[in-house]
Structure 1
Amino acid sequence: MTALPADDTGAASADLTLRIRDALLGGEFAPHQRLIEADLSERFGATRAAVRTALLNLANEGLVERLPNRGARVRAITVDEAVEIVEVRMGLESLCARKAAENVAAEDIAELRVLRAGIEDAVGRGDLFEYSRLNQDMDRRIRELSGHATATQLLERLRAQSARHQFRLAFQPGRAAQSAPEHIAIIDAVIAKDADAAEAATRAHLEGIVTVLRTLG
């Protein structure tokens, strides 16, 4: 691949941050794995300067840790840290669900109903990869509907840090059958424009995640 020109470093590093983040969250790099600038430059077709900036951005997000005189490596999030992250998410996601229920419009409701049907179908077929993808779509859509920019920014960073544990949870035996009704309850509350129910359903779902996470410790 051809490296991007040096004068495009700002735009390149922003795009590269997203691409490396996606690779990290997709499990393409293992916890504690060294992230070599030269290797990343070749893999992603970017300049070393863009790679360096992207790694600094990801370090600020808590996904990468910088090692003195040794470059960078993938930061491993412990189960205890993952639990703390979910506990913080609980307040933010409950707020977003409440706001989404208050803001939802007719066209949004139609989209949420399609999403709801997709979740039920994926679980019924045992397609856990599709179910996981749809859950991410649901979370993203509720954040968007909330219109709460600050909560959304904070959640995107927190979710990125705990994504690896979330991925593990999604494939725990029986987990989908338990979590699907929780997700559907959140969607139904938002569709009904019931802010209290949306907030309560979101909190109950995340409390369940904390309980399951503790079993992984």
Structure 2
Amino acid sequence: MSTVVNENRDGISGAEQRVTELIRGVIVRGEYAPNQRLIEADLSATFSASRAAVRTALLRLANEGLVERLPNRGSRVRAVSLEEAIEILEVRIGVECLCAAKAAERITDTQQNEFAQLREEMITAVSEGDLVEYSRLNQLLDLRVREISEHATAAAVIERLHAQSVRHQFKLSGRPRRAKVSVLEHAAIIDAIVARDPDAARNAVETHLKSVIAALRSLD
């Protein structure tokens, strides 16, 4: 009797997907420092995963630009400089503006209601100082804009670029003052998409990402 292994659309198993997301998470949150060695045996024990699953995860994260594979020396967390992160954000402006404009053209009535609720939840999270919840809602908004845009190529580019710059952006997410600024920028993006106004959506996304760039420069 054959064994059935659940795989996602990328052809990897659920276990491999799980450990990929776990390792990605600790890198993005800064729990693993830039240039830190990633030992397969240690990761296997930490995340209760097989060595094969960890190896696949590291290969995927290397493709995303989060991990650096060293010939005959294993892997380490890839160091992304602040200047590189800013360059990535500059590239993201064009692609994310495209997705927002497409989302504004394609959003349904039901999705409009979903976005209105999301807007309210984001504002509430910031007003209550719940920055962890605000960060989660922010990620959800980014995901839903990509999904509604139905632009697979742009979405894939954004996902890859976002992974490489998000560690620096994560530093900003824990700053209450920054959250009070960014939540208004996100509200403007939502308002433009809900209004089905592609030009306003483009402008709102560009304003937000340029604001992120300015905030990152202030960290240097």
Q: Which moved more, 1:169-178 or 1:113-122?
A: 169-178
| Counterpart check, 1:104 vs 2:111 | no
Cα RMSD of the aligned pairs, angstroms, is 1.7
Q: 2: distance between equivalents of 1:52 and 1:134?
A: 31
Q: 1: distance between equivalents of 2:12 and 2:142?
A: 29
* 1:58 positional shift: 1.0
Q: Which runs of 5+ in 1 are unaligned?
A: 1-7
Contact 2:66 2:77 in 1 (8 A): yes
Match of 2:206 among 203, 207, 211: 203
Quote the residue 1:152 is aligned against.
155
Contact 2:129 2:176 in 1 (8 A): no
Percent of matched pairs sharing the same residue: 57
| Counterpart check, 1:187 vs 2:190 | yes
TM-score (norm 2): 0.90
The amino acid that maps onto 1:19 is L
Q: Secondary structure of 2:99's match?
A: helix
Q: Secondary structure of 1:66's match?
A: strand
* 1:10 positional shift: 4.7
1:165-206 deviations in whole A, cap 9, x for unaligned? 111112235111111111000000011001110111001110
| Counterpart check, 1:53 vs 2:56 | yes
Counterparts of residues 62-211 of structure 1 (less than 5 Å): 62-211=65-214
| Counterpart check, 1:41 vs 2:44 | yes
Q: How many residues are paired up?
A: 210
- TM superposition outliers: structure 1 runs of 4+ over 6 Å: none
Q: Secondary structure of 2:76's match?
A: strand
1:67–1:215: structure 2 CA closer, same or farther, 3 Å change rule?
same
Q: 1: distance between equivalents of 2:46 and 2:29?
A: 16
The amino acid that maps onto 2:52 is A
Contact 1:116 1:187 in 2 (8 A): yes
Q: Secondary structure of 2:33's match?
A: coil
TM-score (norm 1): 0.91
Q: 2: distance between equivalents of 1:56 and 1:122?
A: 36
The amino acid that maps onto 2:49 is A
Quote the residue 1:13 is aligned against.
16
Contact 1:98 1:195 in 2 (8 A): yes
* 1:47 positional shift: 2.3
The amino acid that maps onto 1:67 is L
Contact 1:10 1:50 in 2 (8 A): no
Q: 2: distance between equivalents of 1:42 and 1:202?
A: 41
Quote the residue 2:4 is aligned against.
none
* 1:153 positional shift: 0.8
Q: 1: distance between equivalents of 2:176 and 2:129?
A: 11
